[in-house]
Structure 1
Amino acid sequence: MTNSSTSDSPGTLPYFAQDFTKPDGRALTLYGLAPIELSSDVPSPSDEPVDARPEMRWHPLRAEWVMYAAHRLNRTFLPPPEYNPLAPTSDPAHPTELPRGHYDMAVFDNRFPSLSLSAPQPQAVPGTDTRPGTGKCEVVVFSQDASGTLGGLPAEQIELLLNVWADRTTRLEAGGVIKSVLAFENRGVEVGVTLHHPHGQLYAYDHIPPVQARMLESAQAYLNDMDRPWLPDFVAAEREAGLRVILDGGAALSVVPPFARYTYETWVLPTRAAGKLSDLSADETSAFARVLKDALMRLDALFGVRMPYLLTLHQAPLDGDYPEFPLHIELYPYLRAPGKLKYLAGTEQGGGEFANDNFPEKAAEGLRAVSMAVEQP
């Protein structure tokens, strides 16, 4: 254990955080709505230090970097139900990633990272430029309950997750190397999940990835043209149209955007301009959490199954002050009808242009009509 702290500053839900070092040298932080209490030692599946040597190679025609991390081929893949590496250790002879005790969420350095702050300089490769895969990859475990879901968590715990994401972003920014942080959750084997325990990941880059760079460029162009940020105008237009808003929680809302690329694609966003989660007030964070919970539960209730999806949190880059960047969460459902998955095909993969089977207005109508018991904001 290296540090114990609490957060009760204005704009955040009070929570507790405690830092530890795992036997293999990786960092672990436990978060809770109550003080952290452990009833076992901090474990690791292996005592061997992680030896990651990720590298990046430049794609000259797409003008983007590609990550290479060969060691990830050895990562845990759909382990048997009796061994869950993201559950608290029950048998010391077969340690997992987490200790036993009272806490709500955990964040630890990925054993199989695609990026590393200590990545060495790679060998030259004819035909392209190379550089170290510099960055950081963390695993975020949402709950100790292996059978649960993110949407099934109490609203207070989803609010805690928003604060965890904000805290990780602040910590990563403080090192001076990281320029962008992407939090995401893949759910379901349909989207390539290798562990069913509810969890997500954080990728921290030493550069601004193409998607976020384009978002920033577009947001800056809108600000220059209109002399105001894009996000509040988008919210006002969607509220006025009344066709695609799923739930309006006052300080946050969910919407099927009029330009949705996926059937039932859902965005959750604050209703005022904000670049990062840490820019939100306590009331705004609370509303954001409750609207996110509602959106996730609606996706599951839509067809009566656990919707496979990709969730991505988009925050402003960390190499400057960008209040015009539109903080928001994007949810990409991979089920477009009962038994019908969304696969990225030729036009999406080859041309970068998406084909959607349903108009956003109809998708929003279907999500609004879902009948379910959920705590409203």
Structure 2
Amino acid sequence: MNQIVKRSTTLADGRELIYFDDADTTLSPERKPDLRALDPRPETATMRQDVLTGEWVSIAASRQNRAFLPPAELDPLAPASATNPSEIPDVYDVAVFENRSPSFGPLLPGVPDAPAGLDGAQDLDAPQGLDDLRTLGLGRTRTSVGRCEVICFSPETYGSFASLSESRARTVVEAWADRTEALSALPGIQQVFPFENRGEAIGVTLHHPHGQIYAYPYVTPRTTRLLQSIEQYGPTLFADILETERSGPRVVLAGEHFTAFVPFAARWPVEVHLLPHRQVPDIAALSSDERDELAVMYRTILRGLDRLYDDPTPYIAAWHQAPVNVGRDTVRLMLQITSPRRAATKLKFLAGSEAAMGAWIGDLVPEQSAALIREAIERA
């Protein structure tokens, strides 16, 4: 039986590039090297602490220079050609590489040539563990250690996960699992977050079908709040959510291993959550059978969302995973797909209540939204 094959190499500036070949690939195992003359990688950014919330903000000025909606013939994620010296030097099925303009990294704790912080101190010489990052104080800075990767779902210039073949979708799931495991093992990494932005309404800067994977040096604010909820409610939180939703009116798709539903208190006009039926902390912990079903179900859901209206639905698909060092037995892997599209020609913008105060107002009744999404999935 053919298997998905992983092939690692490096780009001209030392960044890692990993090819994942489909189980039924037609590609040769040989890949051309990257022969570009590239500038040195940017210095690792600096995080500043917001003393009002305790949250860390990475100030990554190098991201100002990243590509912005280039024409198809200059797609930096397409296989390189004589007229398009892209980030990927040869043909591929799925490719993952370190971001050229990262929000976190490329340095990791323990590297001797860490950039100086705003106070002149070598931030990596200071502790950056969870206890240190939770400490509150004025003017606190730390180095934005970590890693940011780009995952290209296909060499095609346009599309999304929904447009992939079943075999290619399965390869992407395998790549997510591989990168989650590898990034979680890096020094200083506290949480790994794969995600996909789709559509200009979301703010995408490349139409190429791709996603990203962030490896954070801290537990993100959203997950920190989730850990607090589990502590308050109890360790059965996710199991109880799943049991409640599976017997209710908001389920949009159910399989042997996963159930997708519109949440009880949905914030966005289009919002779908997907939960595995057993306690699994991240994609890497899924069995082969679960990964098989996930590839099909996720693609089916996205194809349904694209049938809600006459043109594709913009969305953010966020894979919420347990932190590396805490909550592994209680935080369950969850996919959350959200879209601001509240009608064929209308978008939900975060106004004062949501953006300034975090006090959300839903535009659609979740049960009605679930019915619309179920019908769209059936049409798809």
Is TM-score (shorter-chain normalized) higher than 0.5? yes
* Match in the other structure for 1:123: 118
Stretch of structure 1 that moved more, 279-288 or 337-346 = 279-288
Distance 1:44 1:290, change over 3 A: farther
* Match in the other structure for 2:374: 368
Report 1:94-109 matches (<5 A): 94-101=84-91, 103-109=92-98
Distance 1:124 1:166, change over 3 A: same
Task: Please tell me whether the aligned partners of residues 170 and 295 of structure 2 are also in contact (alpha carbons under 8 angstroms).
Answer: yes
How far is 1:231 from its partner?
Answer: 2.0
C-alpha separation in 2, matches of 1:54 and 1:155: 38
Distance 1:45 1:194, change over 3 A: farther
Q: Secondary structure at the match of 2:306?
A: helix
Distance 1:184 1:176, change over 3 A: same
State whether structure 2 residue 300 is matched by structure 1 residue 305. Answer: no
* Match in the other structure for 2:339: 333
C-alpha separation in 2, matches of 1:132 and 1:44: 31
C-alpha separation in 1, matches of 2:67 and 2:199: 16
* Match in the other structure for 1:3: none
* Match in the other structure for 2:80: 89
Task: Please tell me whether the aligned partners of residues 229 and 273 of structure 1 are also in contact (alpha carbons under 8 angstroms).
Answer: no
State whether structure 2 residue 287 is matched by structure 1 residue 281. Answer: yes
* 2:186 aligns with one of 160, 171, 175: 175
Distance 1:38 1:79, change over 3 A: farther
1:208-232 deviation line (CA, Å, top 9, x unaligned): 1111122223234433xxxx52222
Report 1:249-264 matches (<5 A): 249-264=255-270
State whether structure 2 residue 324 is matched by structure 1 residue 318. Answer: yes
Q: Which amino acid aligns with 1:55?
A: T
TM-score w.r.t. length of structure 2: 0.88
Task: Please tell me whether the aligned partners of residues 44 and 106 of structure 2 are also in contact (alpha carbons under 8 angstroms).
Answer: no
Task: Please tell me whether the aligned partners of residues 258 and 277 of structure 2 are also in contact (alpha carbons under 8 angstroms).
Answer: yes
Report 1:349-368 matches (<5 A): 349-368=355-374
Task: Please tell me whether the aligned partners of residues 263 and 271 of structure 2 are also in contact (alpha carbons under 8 angstroms).
Answer: yes
C-alpha separation in 1, matches of 2:375 and 2:5: 38
* Match in the other structure for 2:229: 218
How far is 1:317 from its partner?
Answer: 0.5
How far is 1:45 from its partner?
Answer: 5.9
Task: Please tell me whether the aligned partners of residues 21 and 27 of structure 1 are also in contact (alpha carbons under 8 angstroms).
Answer: yes
Unpaired segments ≥5 residues, structure 1: 1-7
1:293-347 deviation line (CA, Å, top 9, x unaligned): 1110111000021111111101110124612102111011121101101211111
Task: Please tell me whether the aligned partners of residues 15 and 160 of structure 1 are also in contact (alpha carbons under 8 angstroms).
Answer: yes
How far is 1:127 from its partner?
Answer: 5.1
State whether structure 2 residue 173 is matched by structure 1 residue 162. Answer: yes
C-alpha separation in 1, matches of 2:55 and 2:172: 31
C-alpha separation in 2, matches of 1:14 and 1:360: 41
Task: Please tell me whether the aligned partners of residues 121 and 131 of structure 1 are also in contact (alpha carbons under 8 angstroms).
Answer: no
Task: Please tell me whether the aligned partners of residues 254 and 268 of structure 1 are also in contact (alpha carbons under 8 angstroms).
Answer: yes
Q: Secondary structure at the match of 2:161?
A: coil
C-alpha separation in 2, matches of 1:230 and 1:165: 25
How many pairs does the alignment contain? 356
Task: Please tell me whether the aligned partners of residues 244 and 360 of structure 1 are also in contact (alpha carbons under 8 angstroms).
Answer: yes
1:160-190 deviation line (CA, Å, top 9, x unaligned): 2222111111111222321101111111111
C-alpha separation in 2, matches of 1:175 and 1:44: 28
Unpaired segments ≥5 residues, structure 2: 108-113, 121-136
Distance 1:32 1:369, change over 3 A: same
State whether structure 2 residue 271 is matched by structure 1 residue 265. Answer: yes
Q: Percent identity, aligned pairs only?
A: 37
* Match in the other structure for 2:244: 237
Task: Please tell me whether the aligned partners of residues 18 and 30 of structure 1 are also in contact (alpha carbons under 8 angstroms).
Answer: yes
* Match in the other structure for 2:43: 52
C-alpha separation in 1, matches of 2:185 and 2:308: 41
* 2:69 aligns with one of 78, 81, 97: 78
* 2:16 aligns with one of 27, 38, 44: 27
1:90-131 deviation line (CA, Å, top 9, x unaligned): 21x541011333x32110010001111425231229952111
* Match in the other structure for 2:134: none
Q: Secondary structure at the match of 2:266?
A: coil
* Match in the other structure for 2:161: 150
Task: Please tell me whether the aligned partners of residues 160 and 198 of structure 2 are also in contact (alpha carbons under 8 angstroms).
Answer: no
Task: Please tell me whether the aligned partners of residues 231 and 272 of structure 1 are also in contact (alpha carbons under 8 angstroms).
Answer: no
Q: Which amino acid aligns with 1:100?
A: D
* Match in the other structure for 1:140: 151
Stretch of structure 1 that moved more, 314-323 or 33-42 = 33-42
* Match in the other structure for 1:43: 34
C-alpha separation in 2, matches of 1:81 and 1:14: 32
Task: Please tell me whether the aligned partners of residues 253 and 259 of structure 2 are also in contact (alpha carbons under 8 angstroms).
Answer: yes
Q: Secondary structure at the match of 2:5?
A: strand
Q: Secondary structure at the match of 2:184?
A: helix
C-alpha separation in 1, matches of 2:154 and 2:244: 37
Q: Secondary structure at the match of 1:82?
A: helix
